[in-house]
């Protein structure tokens, strides 16, 4: 059982409770059932982050399940944050899966609505959406704090010790209501939030100012989302194709300019130059974010580039990570 | 209203393959109003099928008729005699009409000429949009008259999600985000505070998830013949 | 094959009386010939043309159908020719699905003074239909006749 004052006793919770600037990363699960791929990524992330998220059939593409990957991670000493969407499971499956996750020592859960399956590789699937992410937050909170299933029945032996997370998007419409939405998620049950990846710093500062004015930062741990760009094409793709995403022109320009003076045909040199600039931008952003009031940590999303995380945390002055053990 | 659209000609040809004499039956109610299975549509489709059949070197006969409401036994009963002359019936009614015909004439092959799509309204001439999913438990009082079950692809009750872009839905950028509309509407009505309350999990048992639904109005049923 | 096929090509032309019909008259008066295959049907406006008129024309043996209406902006009934154009576009798609081919249906816009132009367009269209050959329905029924059906 977690120590008094802690809801789950997870490493992530303990780092935040100790008032330290937290770092979470992302481990992208493979499309295969090869645990070896997962272990390679664990090696890249261990020691660089307090915990790592595993996405749940992200963008509607089938991958190794978040919970299964989380079990491998938990056994290998990298604390997982499992993600649970409402798209693929009804309330029975969600509660059942959470009991399963808890059996394997998993404590951190991020609650999401989920990307619509029309964008993925199985667009003909039926979606579920028995619950939405807010209802999911409240259900998990009640499981943990009231020891009850959603139907009201008691959970024998008590509910799972969960550290409950939600996603926050300061950049999606309606912009003016995003901090109200955060307030609602806190009331619903969020202990921590991870924001959408930030590529519009002024807008994020604005959001945080309103959040702080409302005192929300004292009720929930806000982890700012960042991630290294790999190329100008990636920046443009994110600007044009990812819903709820803001990409300031300066980042696209910096990425484009990173290869000035390099031969058009030298693919390796161009790639290296872009990646170096992407990491540089990410580190700068983390340093800017550290100065913003109300931010409790960063969530580093190095999509299919877990290797970049260690460089980023080192240069951003976030190493070594505090040593905490889950109790 | 129920909105439907005709199946593609190629699909209909395939469905009718092997039949020689077909009766196309339209319906004078919902599918007339959405121009899928009314008198005119039946005529055009029947003619097209005859032409297409001849182009293929065959001689499919397709005759045309219409009933006022294909979902009601009283109207469908009128086809009793005529239907004997045909080896298949192509219904241009909604799925309910097809099933009514099939139940009444179980020895005849009844084929669906339409895909019944949704319950909706004409938003402009020639355009129909879905508006109701028959969830059996209407929440429109709490969402300013905008249905989140129908108009939000994720059926959120505490939306919007993080995928909104310029007020449009992440799934279809030509559609407005239903929850942006709801917040705006509730704001206009001075009811935004209500949206800050958590809407609890929906009881889906009143919708199709709970099984085939039935309404019984005892006050409208015909009394039993025997006695008071 | 159609060795001694004596199939007479038939192209039904639905002509608006305010423009195309008048133009055809003008052509006739000026002794400008247009193919005899063209069978003219006079209408008050091309907006009057219904999808069934066109489908029945093909069903009854036409090899091609022409809709001839007023120049945009000059329709006597204001927008009849525009509605006709929209309808014709839709029906061309239907003709493809049926297997008759969209090129057998065409719409043109001319004015009452364009006698020579009418003659040109009529000739062009009939030549197009000749190149396409008789309607598949005629070929088939001819084949049936040859095969003694």
**Tens digits of pLDDT across chain A (327 residues):** 667 789 999 999 999 999 999 999 999 999 999 999 999 999 999 999 999 999 999 999 999 999 999 999 999 999 999 999 999 999 999 999 999 999 999 999 999 999 999 989 999 999 899 999 999 999 999 999 999 999 999 999 999 999 999 999 998 888 888 889 999 999 999 999 999 999 999 999 999 999 999 999 999 999 999 999 999 999 999 988 887 788 999 999 999 999 999 898 999 999 999 999 999 999 999 999 999 999 999 999 998 899 999 999 999 999 999 987 655
DSSP state letter for A155: P
Q: Are the Cβ atoms of B48 and C56 closer than 8 angstroms?
A: no
Say if A37 falls within a structural domain. yes
How close does chain C come to B137, measured CA to CA in Å? 41
Q: How many CB pairs under 8 A join B and C?
A: 41
- Identify from A129, A150, A170 which residue to disrupt to test chain B contact, counting B C-beta atoms within 10 A and taking the largest count: A129
| pLDDT at residue A212, rounded to an integer | 97
Count, residues in chain A: 327
Q: Are the Cβ atoms of B201 and A91 closer than 8 angstroms?
A: yes
Whether the pLDDT of residue C4 is over 50: the answer is no
| pLDDT at residue A173, rounded to an integer | 80
- What is the b/e burial string over A290-318, where b = at least 16 CB atoms within 10 angstroms of the residue's CB? eebebbbbbbbbbbebbebbbbbbebbeb
Q: Is the peptide bond before C37 cis (omega within 30 degrees of 0)?
A: no
- Identify from B13, B49, B55, B59 which residue to disrupt to test chain C contact, counting C C-beta atoms within 10 A and taking the largest count: B55
pLDDT tens across C66-116, in order? Answer: 999 999 999 999 999 999 999 999 999 999 999 999 999 999 999 999 999
Give the domain CATH number at A297: 3.20.20.220
Q: Are the Cβ atoms of A135 and B157 closer than 8 angstroms?
A: yes
Asked if the C-beta of C101 comes within 8 angstroms of chain B's C-beta atoms, the answer is no
| pLDDT at residue C143, rounded to an integer | 62
Q: Are the Cβ atoms of C58 and B50 closer than 8 angstroms?
A: no
Q: Are the Cβ atoms of B55 and C137 closer than 8 angstroms?
A: yes
| pLDDT at residue B82, rounded to an integer | 96
Displacement of CA A88 from its chain's centroid (Å):
19
Q: Are the Cβ atoms of A173 and B166 closer than 8 angstroms?
A: yes
| pLDDT at residue B163, rounded to an integer | 86
CATH entry 3.40.50 includes domain C11-146: yes
- Identify from C65, C83, C99 which residue to disrupt to test chain B contact, counting B C-beta atoms within 10 A and taking the largest count: C99
Measured between beta carbons, the chain B residues lying within 8 angstroms of C136 are 54-55
- Identify from A90, A119, A173, A242 which residue to disrupt to test chain B contact, counting B C-beta atoms within 10 A and taking the largest count: A173
pTM of the model: 0.88
Q: How many CB pairs under 8 A join A and B?
A: 95
Q: Given B8, B47, B56, which is nearest C59 (Cβ)?
A: B47
| pLDDT at residue A73, rounded to an integer | 97
- Identify from B162, B165, B200, B208 which residue to disrupt to test chain A contact, counting A C-beta atoms within 10 A and taking the largest count: B162
Whether the pLDDT of residue B227 is over 70: the answer is no
Q: Are the Cβ atoms of B162 and A196 closer than 8 angstroms?
A: yes
Average pLDDT over residues B165-171: 89
Q: Residue A106: give the domain boundaries.
A: 11-230+293-315
pLDDT tens across B68-90, in order? Answer: 999 999 999 999 999 999 999 99
| pLDDT at residue C146, rounded to an integer | 61
Q: Do residues A102 and A162 lie in contact, with contact meaning Cβ atoms separated by under 8 Å?
A: yes
Residues of chain B with CATH 3.40.50.2300: 2-118
Q: Do residues C146 and C52 lie in contact, with contact meaning Cβ atoms separated by under 8 Å?
A: no
Find the radius of gyration of the CA atoms of chain C. 16
Whether the pLDDT of residue C5 is over 90: the answer is no
Q: Are the Cβ atoms of B44 and C97 closer than 8 angstroms?
A: no
C-alpha dihedral sign at C125, C131, C133, C136: negative
Q: Do residues C49 and C85 lie in contact, with contact meaning Cβ atoms separated by under 8 Å?
A: no
Q: Are the Cβ atoms of A132 and B156 closer than 8 angstroms?
A: yes
How close does chain C come to B148, measured CA to CA in Å? 35
Asked if the C-beta of C71 comes within 8 angstroms of chain B's C-beta atoms, the answer is no
How close does chain B come to A56, measured CA to CA in Å? 16
Q: Do chains A and C touch (3 or more CB pairs under 8 A)?
A: no
| pLDDT at residue A324, rounded to an integer | 77
| pLDDT at residue A174, rounded to an integer | 82
| pLDDT at residue A326, rounded to an integer | 53
Q: Are the Cβ atoms of B54 and C140 closer than 8 angstroms?
A: yes
Task: Give the position of tokens 């002055």.
Answer: A317
- List all chains that touch chain B, counting a touch as 3 or more CB pairs closer than 8 Å: A, C
Q: Is the peptide bond before B15 cis (omega within 30 degrees of 0)?
A: no
Closest CA to A322 of A13, A1, A7: A13
Q: For residues A278 and A238, give the distance between their C-alpha atoms in angstroms, rounded to a whole number.
A: 14
Share of chain B above pLDDT 70, in %: 98
CA angle A292, A293, A294 (to 5 degrees): 115
| pLDDT at residue A231, rounded to an integer | 93
Measured between beta carbons, the chain C residues lying within 8 angstroms of B55 are 98-100, 136-137, 140
Q: Given A116, A134, A169, which is nearest B198 (Cβ)?
A: A134
Measured between beta carbons, the chain A residues lying within 8 angstroms of B153 are 116, 118, 127
Q: Are the Cβ atoms of B50 and C136 closer than 8 angstroms?
A: no
Q: Are the Cβ atoms of A135 and B198 closer than 8 angstroms?
A: yes
- Report how many domains make up chain A: 1
Q: Do chains B and C touch (3 or more CB pairs under 8 A)?
A: yes
Q: Given A91, A167, A187, which is nearest B162 (Cβ)?
A: A167
Displacement of CA A97 from its chain's centroid (Å):
19
Asked if the C-beta of B5 comes within 8 angstroms of chain C's C-beta atoms, the answer is no
Say if A325 falls within a structural domain. no
Say if A2 falls within a structural domain. no
pLDDT tens across C104-141, in order? Answer: 999 999 999 999 999 999 999 999 999 999 999 987 66
CATH number of B2-118: 3.40.50.2300
A281 by Cβ neighbours in 10 Å (0-12 / 13-18 / 19+) ranks as buried
How close does chain C come to B27, measured CA to CA in Å? 19
Average pLDDT over residues B12-37: 96
Q: Which of residues 143-202 of B touch A (CB under 8 A)?
A: 153-167, 170-171, 177, 180, 183-184, 196, 198-202
B133 by Cβ neighbours in 10 Å (0-12 / 13-18 / 19+) ranks as middle
């Amino acid at each position: 059982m977690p120590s008094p004052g802690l809801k789950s006793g997870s490493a992530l919770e303990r780092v935040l409770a100790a008032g330290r600037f937290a770092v979470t990363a992302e481990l992208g699960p493979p499309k295969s059932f090869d645990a070896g791929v997962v272990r390679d990524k664990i090696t890249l992330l261990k020691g660089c982050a307090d915990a790592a998220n595993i996405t749940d059939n992200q963008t509607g593409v089938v991958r190794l399940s978040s919970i299964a990957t989380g079990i491998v991670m938990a056994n290998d000493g990298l604390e997982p944050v499992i993600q649970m969407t409402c798209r693929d499971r009804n309330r029975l499956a969600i509660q059942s899966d959470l009991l399963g996750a808890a059996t394997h020592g998993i404590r951190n859960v991020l609650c999401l609505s989920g990307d619509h399956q029309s964008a993925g590789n199985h667009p003909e699937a039926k979606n579920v959406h028995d619950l939405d992410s807010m209802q999911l937050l409240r259900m998990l909170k009640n499981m943990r704090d009231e020891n009850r299933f959603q139907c009201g029945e008691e959970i024998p032996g008590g509910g799972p010790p969960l550290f409950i997370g939600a996603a926050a998007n300061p950049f999606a419409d309606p912009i003016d209501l995003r901090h109200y939405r955060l307030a609602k998620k806190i009331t619903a049950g969020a202990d921590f939030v991870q924001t959408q990846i930030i590529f519009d710093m002024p807008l994020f500062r604005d959001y945080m100012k309103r959040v702080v004015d409302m005192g929300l930062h004292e009720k929930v741990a806000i982890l700012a989302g960042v991630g290294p760009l790999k190329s100008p094409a990636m920046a443009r793709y994110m600007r044009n194709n990812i819903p709820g995403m803001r990409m300031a022109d300066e980042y696209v320009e910096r990425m484009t300019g990173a290869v000035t003076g390099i031969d058009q045909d030298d693919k390796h040199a161009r790639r290296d130059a872009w990646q170096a600039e992407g990491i540089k931008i990410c580190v700068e952003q983390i340093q800017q974010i550290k100065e913003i009031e109300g931010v409790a940590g960063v969530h580093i999303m190095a999509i299919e580039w877990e290797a970049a995380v260690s460089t980023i945390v080192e240069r951003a002055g976030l190493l070594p990570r505090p040593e905490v053990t889950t109790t | 209203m129920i909105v439907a659209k005709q199946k593609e000609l190629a699909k209909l040809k395939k469905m009718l393959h092997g039949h020689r004499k077909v009766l196309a039956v339209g319906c004078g109610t919902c599918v007339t109003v959405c121009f899928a299975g009314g008198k005119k549509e039946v005529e055009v489709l029947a003619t097209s099928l005859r032409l297409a059949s001849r182009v293929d070197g065959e001689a499919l006969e397709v005759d045309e008729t219409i009933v006022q409401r294909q979902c009601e036994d009283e109207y469908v009963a009128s086809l009793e005699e005529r239907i004997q002359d045909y080896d298949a019936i192509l219904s241009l009614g909604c799925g309910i009409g097809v099933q009514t015909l099939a139940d009444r004439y179980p020895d005849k092959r009844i084929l669906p000429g339409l895909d019944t799509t949704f319950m909706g309204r004409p938003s402009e001439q020639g355009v129909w949009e879905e508006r109701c999913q028959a969830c059996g438990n209407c929440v429109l009082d709490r969402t300013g008259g905008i249905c989140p079950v129908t108009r939000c692809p994720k059926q959120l009750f505490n939306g919007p999600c993080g995928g909104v872009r310029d007020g449009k839905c992440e799934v279809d950028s030509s559609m407005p985000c239903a929850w942006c509309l709801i917040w705006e509407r509730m704001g206009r009505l001075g009811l935004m505070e209500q949206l800050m309350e958590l809407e609890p999990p929906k009881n889906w048992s009143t919708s199709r998830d709970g099984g085939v639904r039935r309404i019984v109005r005892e006050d409208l049923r015909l009394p039993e013949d025997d006695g008071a | 094959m159609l060795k001694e096929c004596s199939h007479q090509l038939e192209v039904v032309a639905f002509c608006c009386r305010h423009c195309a019909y008048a133009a055809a008259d003008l052509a006739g008066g000026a002794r400008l010939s247009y193919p005899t295959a063209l069978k003219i049907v006079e209408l008050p406006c091309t907006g009057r043309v219904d999808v069934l008129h066109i489908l029945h024309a093909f069903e009854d043996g036409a090899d091609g159908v022409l809709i001839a209406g007023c120049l945009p902006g000059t329709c006597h009934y204001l927008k009849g020719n525009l509605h006709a154009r929209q309808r014709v576009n839709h029906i061309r798609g239907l003709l493809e699905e049926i297997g008759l081919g969209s090129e057998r249906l065409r719409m043109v816009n001319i004015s009452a003074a364009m006698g020579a132009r009418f003659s040109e367009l009529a000739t062009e269209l009939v030549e197009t239909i000749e190149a396409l050959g008789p309607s598949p329905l005629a070929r088939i029924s001819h084949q049936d006749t040859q095969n003694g059906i």
